[in-house]
Amino acid sequence: MKPLSDCWLYAFVDTAFLRGRAPERLAQELCDGGADLIQLRAKGSSREEILRLSQAILPVTRRAGVGLVINDHPSLAQEVGADACHLGQDDFFGAGHTHVAALLAPHSALGTLRIGLSTHTPQEARRALAAGADYLAIGPVYPTATKPDARPVTLEYVRWAAANVAVPWFAIGGINLGNLHDVLAAGARRICAVSAILNASAIPAACRQFKRQLLASGH
C-alpha cells in the first residue's frame, strides 16, 4: 500500500451496509473509485467470519494497491497479511494496552502492521500519539447512524487536530458531499466515509466525487 501520508479517502466495507452485496464486489467498486484505504468493519461477526471476509477482500485490495484495514482484530490482521488494524479507545486502552508495539508479532514475515486509533477529544489524541499510533481517527464530527450513541465532536476538534496532530489523521462521522467543504475548511485533509459512499447509487462515482474535492483542497 502507499504511505499513510499519501492516503486521502478512507472507505469501508461495513457488513451492516452489505444488503446482500458481496463484500469483495464492494471492495472492487471502492478501489475503482479511488479509495486509498478500505476498512473491513464487521461488528458482531465471529472471528472465523471476519477471517473469511478478509481473505475474500485482500486479493482485491492487493491488486489495486489499496491498504486493507481490519477493525478490532490485530492478531487476525497480522494472520491474513492486512496492512493495518483499527481500534477504538475501549478496544485498546480499555483492554490494558499502553503502546501499539505490544500488539505486533515480533518477527512477522508479513511486515509491520500499522495501528490506527479512534479519538474523540484532544486528551485521547495525545494519549494515542504517546502510544505510538500510526494514524488517528478524529470524530465523529457530525451525528452518524453508524454510531448513534456517539456525541459529535464538532469542527472544533477538527481544527484542534489540524493544529496539533503530526501523524496522518482522518476526520470521520457523518461526513458527506454536502458538508465536506466545511470539514476541509476546518483543516482536515483526509476523511473517512461510510454511509455516504455505501448508500450511494453508484459507489465508484461517489468515491470519485469525494476524492476530487479532497485533492482540490490543497495537499
Query: Which residues form the catalytic set?
Result: 41, 118, 147
Q: Is the peptide bond before 140 cis (omega within 30 degrees of 0)?
A: yes
Closest listed residue to residue 113, CA positions, set 77, 61, 72, 71: 77
The rounded Cα 91 to chain-centroid distance in angstroms is: 15
Dist. CA 85–CA 133, nearest whole Å = 10
- Helix 47-64 / helix 23-33 crossing angle, nearest 10 deg: 30
Q: In the structure grid, which three cell numbers stand for residue 15, read together? A: 457488513
Q: How far apart are CA 196 and CA 194, in angstroms?
A: 6
